[in-house]
Amino acid sequence: MNTQDQHGRARPGPRGRRSRTLRFGTAALMLWAGLATPLGPAPQRAEAAEDKQVLTVAVAQSVDSLSPFLASRLVSTSIHRLTYEYLTNYDPKDARPIPGFATKWSPSADKLTWTYTIRSDSTWSDGKKATAEDAAWTFNKIMTDEGAAPANGSYVTNFRKVTAPSPTKLVIELKKPQATMAALDVPIVPKHIWEKVGDFSEFNNDKTFPIVGNGPFVLTGYKPDSYVRLKPNKDFWRGAPKFDELVFRYYKDGDAAVAALQKGEVSFVQGLTPAQAAALEKQKNIKVNDAPGRRFYALATNPGARTKDGERFGDGHESLLDEKVRHALFMAVDRETIIDKVFQGHAVKGEGYIPPRFPQYFWKPSAGQELAHDPAKAAQLLDEAGYRKNGDGKRVGKDGKPINYRVLCHATDPNDKAVGQYLTEWWGELGIGVTLNCLDNVSDPWLAGTYDLAFDGWSVNPDPDFVLSIHTCAALPTTPDAIGATDNFICDKKYDDLYAQQLAEYDPARRAEIVKRMESRLYDTGYMNVMAYPNAVEAYRTDQIKSIETMPSDAGNIYGQDGYWSWWSAVPAAAEESSGGSGSTGVVVGVVAGVVVLAGAGVFLAMRRRSTADDRE
């Protein structure tokens, strides 16, 4: 079972993951300071709870923070999708924005003022009314408190003022036009709870349960590196989920998670390896879902870790500051071999930064631009850059020492390890040594800039703004010890100029063209080598889950969606038809309502942002 990120947010994601504590694909054990102590016994497996239906999801990633102001990992931001409403949601069929906490939204003639109608039927799980004031407070806190900005600060940097003239009216004034106003993937939190928080940079929201929210689920329990428990929000405006409890259970070992699925101890497993998927397809009562993914799988170079004011730190190899060297390394990588031998066909060959799942933004290099697999050309570029072989056949640096690159990889991700072995072979033929640094916690060396290259990747949202923002100069940390939003310290003025242009462009077609130019620039600089777009390969027990919504509906993923459709829609296998039937029905109703709103909302509403985080989603 492969690990997942982001990111998101996804920053990402889905969002502006400022606290890039951990990159995609990690199953690291590192936790933020102050995480909760164990909260009682681990949740029981679904079939053992005779009095309730429990949906248990195996995850290969530990929670970084339960605070929506800090979280960047996909598991964390996915949980926030379930527990808090965002202004808008996304149609599970085609990812167009539809109503969430806001029922409709519209811009002023100059596009500098956006007015949102906040629904009157949303209630916090402690019984208090959720209003526009909660949304205004959330955005203002992120705008004015640096400690509250790590996860979503990128969304509000262009905000001039946010007010709530009435309980059902939210007004956001902008400094300049911003094309992501129907894609503000920011969890709205209850003011009356969060205004009591002192230091947002340290508060992880993991001491008092249940956690107050207004999403389809209420978070009721958490044990670090063990589980997260949620129960249905019976007062959720779209309707309560059908399972009695939802549990995310952490498994560091993928084979252990698959074994738990086979024994019925968990209902769902994601991030399957090809071998695991093949074995599960033959199992009774198990359905494997293999769909085009929203992630990219890349190799990122350390371009020289720096702060916003240019202070250098870390110890990335100086040769990687040379574009010819970066190009040479990537031309030595055989993407076809990675697809065939590592992913065994469960992926598409990587090219541009945004996966083909998002065709309006998908870009590929021209024939003359492509850094195609060409080891001879790679060797030539290294010679031209002045990194020639010594008598022992080793490339030497400016200091006369043989070049040996440290490559960060995730200890629990078999893909990282497998590709790493190929890199050792391919780069070895160029005379370059490789040391795979496979860790449970890649965060520390990554943030410190003490690496040369790293396996990287993000979940891309329908609106790509977040995953684009993490490569801007503005995302760099303010000090060497600070946590910025940067993915890997890229700072390029041409890229930044294009980023500003796309953010202010409301015309979808023109904006997409600018985004493609950004991808082209990122490709040419050689900082990011996108090797593959992995499929979402996952499985669930049909004797526990009768039906569940994918995204996109026709052929999409279940885990890590841009929304809460999967777990909200899931119907227990033992449920009677009278319980509401397929979970898709509620989704269709919501989408129909959203179409009416969108019809009058004006331009660009087919857009939206972050990995996710990566990421965040």
CB burial of 280-318 (b: ≥16 within 10 Å; e: otherwise) equals beeeeebebbbbbbbbbbbbbbbbbbbbbeeeebbebbe
Looking at residue 1, its pLDDT comes to: 58
- Whole-number pLDDT of residue 72: 85
- Which whole number is the average pLDDT over 87-99? 95
| Residue 586 is assigned to a structural domain of this protein | no
pTM of the model: 0.82
**Mean pLDDT computed over every residue of the chain:** 87
Residues 270 and 157 in one domain: yes
Question: Do 338 and 195 reside in the same domain of the chain?
Answer: no
The residue with greater pLDDT, 414 or 47, is 414
Rg of the chain taking only CA atoms, in angstroms: 23
Does residue 45 carry a pLDDT above 60? no
Distance of alpha carbon 226 from alpha carbon 228, whole angstroms:
7
Q: Note whether 192 and 313 are same-domain residues.
A: no
**Does the pLDDT at position 607 exceed 90?**
no
DSSP per-residue string spanning 340-401: IIISTTSEEE--SSS-TTSTTT-----TTT---S-HHHHHHHHHHTT--B-TTS-BB-TTSS
Is residue 205 domain-shared with residue 58, that is, in the same domain? Answer: yes
pLDDT for 443 equals: 86
CATH number at residue 276: 3.40.190.10
- The verdict on residue 78 lying in a domain is yes
Establish if 8 belongs to a structural domain: no
Same domain, residue pair 568 and 470 = no
> Are 68 and 157 within one domain?
yes
**353 and 270 in one domain?**
no
Residue 3 in this model has a pLDDT that exceeds 80:
no
What total of structural domains would you count in the chain? 2
CATH of the domain at 307: 3.10.105.10
Percent of the chain with pLDDT over 90: 79
Residues 273 and 319 in one domain: no
Where is pLDDT greater, at 89 or 33?
89
Residue ranges making up the domain that contains 132: 54-292+537-572
Assign 391 a pLDDT band (cuts: 50, 70, 90): very high
Asked whether residue 39 is assigned to any structural domain, the reply reads no
pLDDT digits (tens, 9 = 90+) for 449-506: 999 999 999 999 999 999 999 999 999 999 999 878 899 999 999 999 999 999 999 9
Q: Within this chain, do residues 552 and 477 fall inside the same structural domain, yes or no?
A: no
248 and 342 both lie in a single domain = no
**Residue 283 sits in the same domain as residue 333:** no
End-to-end distance of the chain based on CA atoms, in angstroms?
18
Whether residue 19 has pLDDT greater than 80: no
